[in-house]
Amino acid sequence: MTYQEAVEEQIDDIMDDFDFDKVHKIMEFLNWEWWFEENEKRVPEVSELRKKAREYLRYVAKHGGTTGSGGFTAQCKKVYSEEENKSFVWLTLYWGLNSMNDGICHN
């Protein structure tokens, strides 16, 4: 299996297990809207949530690190196994209302 095939398989697994319907219901309840082309602002459909999540996962798989918007956070951790003498990629997808700041707080 190639690296790209392994990544796509992992992305497919995430997409199958992630509860996009629940995210959509929460967004509808909160009236959490995204901006779309031609200045259209509305709650995204489940298919649009899925499309954006897949884009974020593919991006981090290619570039590493973390990216996201609209409540989504996609993350890629690359791990090297000395035992197997090869690298592995671990993708994660989150959606939520919390935010995080790793900066230093000054009084």
pLDDT category of residue 100 using cuts at 50, 70 and 90: very low
Average pLDDT score over residue span 35-45: 93
Domain containing 36: what range? Answer: 3-95
Residue 12's closest CA among 49, 58, 46?
58
Q: How many domains does the chain have?
A: 1
Residue the block writes with tokens 């031609």: 38
Q: What is the pTM of this model?
A: 0.83
In a domain, 68, yes or no: yes
Residue 37 covered by a domain = yes
Which tens digits make up the pLDDT trace of 81-90? 788 787 788 9
- Domain assignment present for residue 101? The answer is no
Interval 46-88: pLDDT, tens: 999 999 999 999 999 999 999 999 999 999 998 877 887 877 8
Look at residue 16 and give its three-state secondary structure.
helix
